[in-house]
Amino acid sequence: MRVTELLAGNFFFFVLLVARALCAAPTGCTAIDGLYECDYGTVSLPMAETSFSSPLAQRVRLTNVNGNINTDVFGTTFASIDTTQFDTNWAPTFEIKCDGSVTLGQNTFSNMDHIRDVKIVNCDVTVPANTFLNLMYLDRLVIENGTITSWDAAAMDGMQIVKFTDPSPAYPVKTGELIFMNSKLTSQSFPTGAFTKQGRIETLVLEGLDLNTLEASMFSNNTKLRILSLGYNSFTTLPSGLFDNLDSLAELHLYDTQLDCNCTNLWFFEHADTTKMKIRGDMTCATPADWAYYRAASYYQSNCVTTTESCSKGLELMGACITYFELAMYIVCVWAFILAIIVLILVIHTKRQMGGGSSSSRKKGGPRSKKPDAGKKRPPKETKKGWA
């Protein structure tokens, strides 16, 4: 019995050693459902790709970051990582999760050109020029919570955010998103040209940043932009021309936004009506005082939309604007209907007249029954010779 227990115990210990060998990771890193969490204070940087055995280092989260990341997080061995072996349910991801302030640099993202999704969470972050240069292409960049202490206008130079279509790795959801959310921007504005090089993003979220200023040309190069979210900020106006060149823009989100309501500032309602762009959000008026906390859309309809403006190319009838072309078409249709009725009446009348004449003629001059002709002689009967 003791021998059996000893063998079972040794077998269990052997299986444990094999499992640990198969799931090897660098000191300071732990694998949780395919995600490696690596403690910044413990792990040795740069990390070697060969120190991650199974699963591959497809998703890595660097936690408890506090200080400057002025060295490579990934070593040069990551340049040869086999992306065809990645789990296709996930995008290749690198995440920085902070426990204080952090300054990033160009070396932070070295050897990460296979990464498609980058997240910076809970950081008081400083982002200098060319920080994301080595990433080359991303499907999504997210900076969430914390504070953006400094953002250089050239921070994203050399890197493009684009909705990926490449088959490897073929993860299911691709977005082309740039998201800044709930990260207070110390300067309360982005530097001029901050988004100039990102001409292929499809979704841009600038929410909860305490933005108080937007430049008119801020998004002029983002011509593929489909969704723009600017809610939960402190600006009270949108500069005229903000959506110039954005022919693909389908949705504007302005949740929890207070505006200085006047017809000039609410120009974007007319723009939305013209381009069929959808505006979503609970926009209210900060001014004037008698409209405070009322919906900005209600102010616009009550004060900025007049009969002349709303029906300048036609006639307003029963609350609807009918253009002169539509009015002409209606008149033509009415006349066509009247003529059709007249023609129908004439056809019915003609048919009746023709039908009545045929019946009368049959009664008066119709064919009579034929009788044998009395004056016609019948041939004489033949008689047989020899009879008396």
Q: Contact, 111 vs 88, CB < 8 A?
A: no
At residue 328, what are phi and psi to the nearest 5 degrees?
Answer: -60, -40
Q: Using CA atoms, how far apart are residues 273 and 9, in angstroms rounded to an integer?
A: 75
Task: Annotate 160-198 with DSSP letters as a single string.
Answer: EE-----SSS--S----EEEEES-EETTSSPPTTTTTT-
Give the model's pLDDT for residue 159.
96
For 8-56, the pLDDT digits (tens) are 445 444 433 344 444 578 899 999 889 999 999 999 999 999 999 878 9
Q: Indicate the DSSP class of residue 382.
A: P
Structural domain contains residue 372? no
Structural domain contains residue 370? no
Q: Phi-psi bin for 188: left (phi > 0), alpha (psi -120 to 50), beta?
A: left
Give the model's pLDDT for residue 18.
40
Contacts of 30 (CB under 8 A, 6+ apart): 36, 37, 38
> What residues in the chain have per-residue pLDDT under 50?
1, 3, 6-9, 11-22, 308, 361, 369, 384-388
27-30 long-range Cβ contacts below 8 angstroms, 24+ apart:
29/60
pTM for the predicted model, two decimal places: 0.74
Task: Annotate 196-235 with DSSP letters as a single string.
Answer: TT-TT-SEEEEESS------TTTTTT-TT--EEE--S---
Give the model's pLDDT for residue 338.
94
Structural domain contains residue 40? yes
Give the model's pLDDT for residue 321.
73
Q: Containing domain of residue 311, as a range?
A: 27-316
Q: Using CA atoms, how far apart are residues 345 and 132, in angstroms rounded to an integer?
A: 81
Structural domain contains residue 195? yes
Q: Phi-psi bin for 129: left (phi > 0), alpha (psi -120 to 50), beta?
A: beta
Structural domain contains residue 109? yes
Residue 200: CATH number of its domain: 3.80.10.10
Q: Contact, 203 vs 180, CB < 8 A?
A: no
Give the model's pLDDT for residue 312.
64
Q: Using CA atoms, how far apart are residues 104 and 321, in angstroms rounded to an integer?
A: 58
Structural domain contains residue 123? yes
Give the model's pLDDT for residue 54.
77
Nearest 5°: the CA angle 338, 344, 346 is: 105
Q: Using CA atoms, how far apart are residues 329 and 301, in angstroms rounded to an integer?
A: 30
Give the model's pLDDT for residue 227.
98
Structural domain contains residue 170? yes
Give the model's pLDDT for residue 330.
84
Tally of domains in the chain: 1
Establish how many alpha carbons lie within 13 A of residue 248's alpha carbon, considering only the half-sphere containing its beta carbon: 15
Which parts of 23-139 are beta strand (E)? Answer: 29-32, 35-39, 59-68, 93-103, 117-127, 137-138
Structural domain contains residue 129? yes
Give the model's pLDDT for residue 388.
40
Closest alpha carbon to 73 in 34, 100, 40, 29:
40
Closest alpha carbon to 118 in 79, 175, 76, 78:
175
